[in-house]
Amino acid sequence: MTCTGAYVDETLLQHFGSLIAYVRAAEATSQGGPDGRGPAPGSLAASAAPVLKDFGARWTSEIEALNKCACPLDSAARALQVSAAALCQQDLAGHAR
């Protein structure tokens, strides 16, 4: 992982931790167990509602905070690159993560 990737991951966790935790759990569940079966239908649906409600209520202020986190970097162009990487979950080489 690149330094930018580590920064992006840490920054996203600070601002969208509950959403990231939900997505990681959903991804792990969709992989299925040792028998290769997927998750039971709707197994994560109940836990999605509060996560989505929280995200919906805070996303604009969190995006503004993400931009402020990137501003102390040495140049405005670099700050925009890091903000874009955080929002797109991509490294600066442009490869999807």
Each residue's pLDDT tens digit, 44-62: 778 888 999 999 999 889 8
Domain count, the chain: 1
**Is 73 inside any structural domain?**
yes
Torsional sign, CA 22, 27, 29, 34: negative
**Percent of the chain surpassing pLDDT 90:** 8
Residues 6 or more apart whose Cβ sits within 8 Å of residue 30 = 38, 39
**Is 71 inside any structural domain?**
yes
Distance CA 66, CA 79 (A): 10
Distance CA 84, CA 94 (A): 10
Q: For residue 47, give both structure tokens.
A: 């836990």
Domain that holds residue 52: 3-88
**Is 96 inside any structural domain?**
no
67: nearest Cα among 86, 78, 83, 84 = 83
Model confidence pTM above 0.85 = no
**Is 84 inside any structural domain?**
yes
**Is 52 inside any structural domain?**
yes
**Is 20 inside any structural domain?**
yes
Q: What is the pLDDT along the chain (97 residues), one digit of tens a residue?
A: 677 778 778 888 888 899 888 888 888 777 665 455 655 556 677 888 899 999 999 988 988 887 776 656 566 677 677 777 766 764 444 444 4
